[in-house]
Amino acid sequence: MPIKQFATAVIETSLNVMIKDDPDLGRRLSRLKGNAIQVLVRELDMTLTFVLSQQQIDVLSQYEGQPDCYLSFKLTDLSELREQANITKLIKQDKLVLEGDAQLAQKFAQLITDCKPDIEEWLSRITGDVVAHTVVQGAKDFGSLLQTKAAKHQNHISQVLTEEWKVFPGALEVAHFCDQVDEVTSLSATIESRLSKLSEQV
């Protein structure tokens, strides 16, 4: 299976599973039925068309018709499309190309960004509630531990490089150097002024 077809299948299946699990998302999707939104994801250089129906989203890599809305953006800016004011700002900053219904684009962005998988809920269907909760909580705790360890490790490396190996100057050394530069600049300006006065007298 070509990469584009595989990607669209994964995106389509994931979105529809999450929408099916959340009645609120289902209601919001039904209000957008009949619309087609074409999206160019800049990081992937991939154009996808999202065809919205009453109960599901079809994701197509090829689309013959005219979409109701065309968007071109980076995935990192998707969440900003939720607010109408941000749409104008992103367009001015060349972070977004929008053709068609801006309100439709906003509602679509809200729907997509709210499609967040409930891992614990999905896992509980296989393992049961207690095991699912334990596994998810354990994963969160492990993630927090890794972040703490990484922060400590980064701080330790920074201290070794600046204090022990003297590869980089410390914060006080940098501040002292800046003060010295300011003094030299001030002294230079004073000397230049005096020389200028002397030349005028001569």
Residues 120, 132 contacting (CB under 8 angstroms) = yes
Give the three-state DSSP class for 33.
Answer: coil
Query: Over 80: is that where the pLDDT of 140 sits?
Result: no
Mean pLDDT of the chain: 76
The predicted model scores a pTM of 0.57
Each residue of 153-200: pLDDT tens digit?
A: 566 566 655 565 555 555 666 666 677 777 777 777 777 777 666 666
Query: Over 50: is that where the pLDDT of 29 sits?
Result: yes
CATH number of 3-117: 3.30.1050.10
Residue ranges, comma separated, of all CATH 3.30.1050.10 domains in the chain are 3-117
pLDDT score, position 152? 67
More confident residue, 192 or 78: 78
Average pLDDT of the segment spanning 22-33: 90
The burial class, CB within 10 Å (0-12 / 13-18 / 19+), for 7 is middle
Query: Over 80: is that where the pLDDT of 118 sits?
Result: no
pLDDT score, position 15? 86
